[in-house]
A and B are shown apart, each in its own frame.
Chain A
Amino acid sequence: MRPPKGQHGFVPWKLSGLRTGGAARGANALRDAHDARTVLTTEALQRTPLHTLHVELGARLVPFAGYEMPVQYPSGILAEHRHTRAAAGLFDVSHMGQARLHGTNAASALETLVPMDLRGLAFGRQRYAFFTNDAGGILDDLMVTNRGDFLYLVVNAARKAADFELLKNLDFEILADRALLALQGPTAAEAIARLSPRLASMPFMSSDSAKVGDFVCQVSRSGYTGEDGFEISVAAADAEPLARLLLAQPGVAPVGLGARDSLRLEAGLCLYGHDIDETTTPVEAGLEWAIQKVRRRGGAHEGKFPGAALILDQLERGASRRRVGIRPEGRAPIREGETLHDSTGRAVGRLTSGGFGATLDAPLAMGYVETEFAAPGTPLSATVRGKPRACRVSALPFVPHRYHRGKPK
């Protein structure tokens, strides 16, 4: 067998950084995978506070963003994915970077780096944000929460160092001694309510301090699956007993990064470094909704973030390409990196994520296409192993979000 096309580093043989001789095509993928497992133990990969638990649960651990992370447990990616949509999945996302921004001007200082309204972010509320560069590209996406005394940030594991460099002149504190768990799925609220009843009534994108069991946590109602759910920041020392407590609740099962990726893809959510990066603008990525009016042209705090001129222009005029969903015909997935062609064979776009959606029971992908091809239903084709594969542009998300928005007051 031959090595797979590049994916997100979840598969065990996609270990180009670990493997001597590199990932030359034609090498023996599975034999290399086998070698890599032994190499793993000697590499300087970081471990999360749940590492012992992952091993005990039979996780397959792979290197991801410098961490040894569970890609799946014995039930497998498809079953874990379906379980999260049907009940509740517990994810270890402790590899992500957590930080606090202190100071009375934290919000206005952070606003110089992101096009979001943070001065207007109420206490206990959370907001999706992204750091931009001078060319209007995205340096990372993150979550920002107003905790009153400070802003709490969660950034991508692979971008921690770069993000913290951006923040170096601000009064910020890296929370290296905290773990992050995500409990996601339609029965997540029921499960957490057994341990901390009032959390079940939190609205989507809010944050609170609470005791879950005996453990003091900072909990937000948010996630990366399209389902209702919670993200729980907890002291590293409490992470394992808290995870065991959550796993002991009926309907809660551990879910790895493999299903996390297919769940977010079905939910149409961007993965940094794939669907968004330094070369994609927020408007091209379809993330206009995340830029509040006060930061747009004519707003009270217009512009004054990196790349503002270009991004504000694109907000008014649109961009020449657009992130879209793609549904391939048939059952075989089409992977990241494949080129998309129109009916004349002209290249009009490229896939940035691709895989298999267990809820749709079908392959699915995301990518960028020239704007005139972005309408749902537009027929395109991708060339996979020399053969054309028909596909269609699809509206996002592929699977409707089921967030807990609460009743309007």
Chain B
Amino acid sequence: MTEEHEWIRMEADGTATVGITSFAQEQLGDIVYVELPEVGKKLEQGDDAAVIESVKAAAECKAPVSGTVTAVNTALADEPGTVNREPTGAGWFFKIKVADPKQLDALLDEATYLGKLDK
């Protein structure tokens, strides 16, 4: 997890899946559109990777680590509300081939992230 409310999960194939946290989707409210990066795009950690449009606001999702986009969740085009319903499951944004695994070590684990939210 990041302090900016993205989550990243390492998958068995060596890529990592990225989305926004439940807290983030709740704060944004009903999501009506997600602009996803192009497959093959190289992202630096902290780059704007996706744009989330809710009924009332637009927010940008940053790349939690550097890497190359290997897949995007095209189902969100028709069903952006999936991000509200299943933010850490079917509402994922994109998969990324991680350039520097050391960047992962600096991210927050779920317990630390949730602990920060409670403060």
**Residues of A in contact with B, size category:** 35 or more
B61 closest partner in A (C-beta): A1
**Is A78 a contact partner of B30 (Cβ separation < 8 A)?**
yes
CB distance from A127 to the nearest CB of B (A): 31
Query: Which residues of chain B (24-44) have a CB below 8 Å from chain A?
Result: 24, 27-30, 32-33, 35
Which residue in A13, A356, A385 is a CB contact (below 8 Å) of B32? A356
Which residues of B have CB within 8 Å of A262? 55
For residue B58, which residues in chain A have a CB less than 8 angstroms away from its CB? 4-5, 333, 335
Contact B24 A11 (CB under 8 A): no
**In the complex, what residue of chain A is closest to B28 when comparing beta carbons?**
A11
**Docked CA distance A10–B57 (Å):** 9
Q: Are B27 and A33 in contact (CB under 8 A)?
A: yes
Q: How far is the CA of A78 from the CA of B56 in the complex (A)?
A: 10
- Whether A258 lies near B56 (C-beta < 8 A) is yes
Bitwise interface map of A from 371 to 383 toward B, beta carbon under 8 Å scored 1, else 0: 0000000000000
In which size bucket is the chain B interface? 20 to 34
- Given A76-B29, A78-B30, does the pair A10, B4 have CB atoms closer than 8 Å? no
Contact partner of A77 (CB less than 8 A), chosen from B20, B30, B60, is B30
Q: How far is the CA of A79 from the CA of B51 in the complex (A)?
A: 23
The reply to whether A72 and B32 contact each other, CB–CB distance below 8 Å, is no
- Please measure, in the bound complex, the distance between the C-alpha atom of A264 and the C-alpha atom of B33, giving whole angstroms: 21
A364 to B75, CA, bound (A): 23
**Docked-complex contact A72 and B52, CB < 8 angstroms:** no
Interface CB pairs A-B, < 8 A, 19: A1-B4, A1-B6, A1-B20, A1-B52, A1-B59, A4-B57, A8-B56, A11-B27, A11-B54, A12-B27, A14-B57, A77-B55, A78-B81, A331-B33, A333-B32, A333-B33, A333-B55, A356-B55, A363-B33
Q: Given A1-B4, A1-B24, A4-B59, list of 4 further CB < 8 A pairs?
A: A1-B59, A5-B58, A34-B23, A258-B56
Q: Mark A residues whose CB is within 8 Å of B.
A: 1-5, 7-8, 10-14, 28-31, 33-34, 71-72, 76-79, 258, 261-262, 330-333, 335, 355-356, 358, 363, 385
